[in-house]
Every structure is written in C-alpha cells, then in structure tokens.
Amino acid sequence: MNMRRFLPLFLLLFFAGTISLVVYYKPDARKRSLPPVPVISVQTKTVESQQYRVVINSFGRIEPRTQGQLVAQVSGQIIEVSPNFRDGGFFQEGEVLVGIDPRDYLIQVKIAAAELAKAKVSYAEEQVLADQAINDRKTLHNQGPATDFALHIPQLAAAKSQIAAAKAKLEQARLDVERTKIRAPYPGRILSKGSDIGDVISANTVLAKIYATDLVEVRLPIKNSELPFIDLPERSNTSGGANANLAVARIINRLGTKAQQWQAVLVRAAGAIDEQSQQLFVTAQIDRPYAIDDSKRRPLKIGQYVTAEIEGKTIADAMVIPNAAIYQGSYVYLYKGGVLERREIEIAWQNSRESLIKHGLSAGEQLVLTPLGRVSSGTRVKQQNDPAKPGPGMMVGESSETGSGKKGQGR
C-alpha cells in the first residue's frame, strides 16, 4: 500500500529525466547545399541558306482527254462485232467495231444508179431535140425570134439538174452502205458498250462509250498559299512551241503493292477559282499511258484517284528547317551562349516534313531540334556532346530564375 502511494512520484521523476536527456543530448543538424540545377542537353543544327526547289503535293482523278460516244448513223440489224468491242477492249483508228446488215442500202445504191442512167438518157434526148430545133430555125425563112422553150433550153437545164440529183442520190446511197461499217475514229478503248450482235438498232443509237488512249489528264487542286510558288500554264502560246516551259509533275499510282510514278506536264489552268473548294485547278497531262515499255507499270484506270508531286519554283536563298523544330506554327528555339532564345518566325510555305521560312531566321544561327515544350528564353542548356557548364554569374547549387530546365509535355 505504501509503494502505491509513491508510484505517481516515481513516474513523474522518470519522464522528467528522460526529457532532460533528450534535450541535453540532441543530435546536430548538418546543412547540405542545394542540388545542382539540371541542365538540358539539346541537339542543334546550323541554319544555312540554300537553293531549294518547292514541290507541291496534290491529288486528283484520272480522266480521258478525248472521250465520246460511238453512234450508229443508219438503222438495221447488227450482224458482226469486233473481238475488241468489249468493255475495256483496245482498238485502233479505222478498225471496224460494228457491222450493220447492208442489204437494204445496197438495193438503194442500185435504184439510185438506175435513176442516174435514166436521167442521162433524158438529158441526151433533150440535147438532140435542142440541136434539131436550132437546125430547123436555120432552114425556115421569114420567122420571128424563137423562144427559149422552142429551142429546148429550159428542158435541157431540167434534164441536167435531174442528172445532178441522181448523182447525189447515188452518193447518199453509197454513203449509207459505208456507214453500215462503224469504224473507230481514233486509237482508244471501250469504256462501256450498249449493243451487241443481233440487236436491231435505229439511227443515232449509242453503241458504246469510248475514249482515246494517247493521252489522259488529271485535274489537281492548288492551295491559294501555294500559287506564288508554281509557274501556271496560263499564257497564250501562239508560236506553237513545245512543252519545254511547262511545269513537270509526277503522278503516283498507289493501286497495288508498290507505288509507281508517271511523268506528266501541266498543260492548262482553270479560268476561275472553284466555287466549292475556293481553289484553283490545274490539269496535268500524261502522254501514252497505255504504251508497252520495260517499266512494267500497271495501267492507269479511268476514274482512279492518284497523288501528284508538282515541281514548283526554285528559291535561291531559302531558309528551310524541319517542321519538328517549330512550335505552334509560330516560333522556334535557338541556342545562344549556353541559353535558349525563343524566336518568332513567319512560314512562307510548308509540306509534311519541312518549312520554308520567310522571316525570323538568319544564316549561321543554331536551331534547337530537341523537343522542349514550354520553356522560357534564358533557360540554361548545353549542346549534345559538350560538357555541362554553369551559366555566367551562377554557382552550382543556386536555382535559376529564368526557367526550371524541365522538358514540356507538348508543343
């Protein structure tokens, strides 16, 4: 019982002694210097002026330059067709594609020939009567002036007109016979056919849709911002010169496992801006797209989409940089004396890989290629393969006031 009375006192003395020991023997706090500010390592490229050829990308559909309809000019039954008279079939100029039964027209030729012979006989009879009238007038005396009718002058003219009409009718009959053989007007290909052997057709029946295979064309839209960098074929050429001064284009056929190229030239530009797209269309022409050569290229198909690379103007002193170095389409970072400098730029032209700079860069400056994101001007950096050096007036362990030195998450 006596021990329990003194237990609170013992506990109080124990805790007081423990607190005194902790306070008296407290550990020493060692001060450490601040960690060094990280320095960004960047890859740079020296900006240089160069001669640069602008290449404009576009797209379009293959279209025939010459396209038309094969139309029958006479009626009748189709009794023969060419083996090439099929969808996609090739034909040569003058080839007989369709033959119509000519017997009715051959009969008309015989009738016209008989009428011509009869007209010639009538003319000969009138000529004899006219000569006889003249002789009779000479043998008769005390006669007044003879009339033209008495001299058979109008009868002779009418007989002569009948001969001309009979000749025209015979020529028409022969022409109808010739038109029973429907020939190809140019070397070409069948786009689609509407009649076949055994069909009875009338005049002006469309037998097939055809197009010429000597040339095909592609209409290509050009952006308004790219028009200053291309020589448009808009000037009249009255001298009849060749295509020496026309812009060259490469037409790329991507149907199949491997892309193939076709050489083309720009032959004309549209007379007005397209109302829907608000772009100018130019026409590229491909020569002999179906010719057989050693390239073994796949034939171009009418209506297929192709891409195009048009050679534009050559810029003498061009500043060209990769698109990856441009932020938000308006500024870049330059390396100057161990720090970054943000520089506003103006882009004159751009493709998917690089940009032509109009204002903002000078030759000899160091362009930063490493993605940085949002970094302030004055941030300390070092070029790759160079040792990190503290900036002027800064000691290792001091913090930078101009930037954190961390990469941004995006441009």
- Write the single-letter amino acid at 251: I
pLDDT confidence of residue 386: 52
* Domains of the chain in sequence order: 56-65+213-235+245-314 (2.40.30.170), 68-211 (2.40.50.100)
- pLDDT tens-digit series, residues 373-411: 788 888 888 888 654 444 433 333 333 333 333 333 334
CA dihedral 234, 235, 236, 241 (to 10 degrees): -100
pLDDT confidence of residue 392: 39
pLDDT confidence of residue 38: 61
Region of residue 64 (left: phi > 0; alpha: psi -120 to 50; beta: else): beta
Tell me the CA distances in angstroms from 53 to 5, 28, 48, 182, 319, one per residue in order: 105, 72, 15, 51, 12
pLDDT confidence of residue 185: 95
Task: Name the one residue in this structure whose structure tokens are 């034939």.
Answer: 299
Radius of gyration of the CA atoms of the chain, in A: 47
Q: How far is C-alpha 95 from the chain's CA centre?
A: 33
Judged by DSSP in three states, 348 sits in strand
HSE-CB at 27 with a 13 A cutoff on CA atoms is 3
pLDDT confidence of residue 315: 92
How many angstroms separate the CA atoms of 328 and 86, rounded?
56
pLDDT confidence of residue 244: 54
Which residues of the chain fall below pLDDT 70?
A: 1-7, 9-11, 21-38, 140-144, 146, 235-244, 385-411
- pLDDT tens-digit series, residues 329-380: 899 999 998 899 999 999 999 998 999 999 999 999 999 999 987 888 888 8
Positive or negative torsion for Cα 127, 132, 135, 140 = negative
Q: Which is it for strands 181-183 and 96-100: parallel, antiparallel or unpaired? A: antiparallel
pLDDT confidence of residue 60: 95
- What is the side-by-side strand order in the sheet with 181-183? 181-183, 96-100, 76-81, 200-201
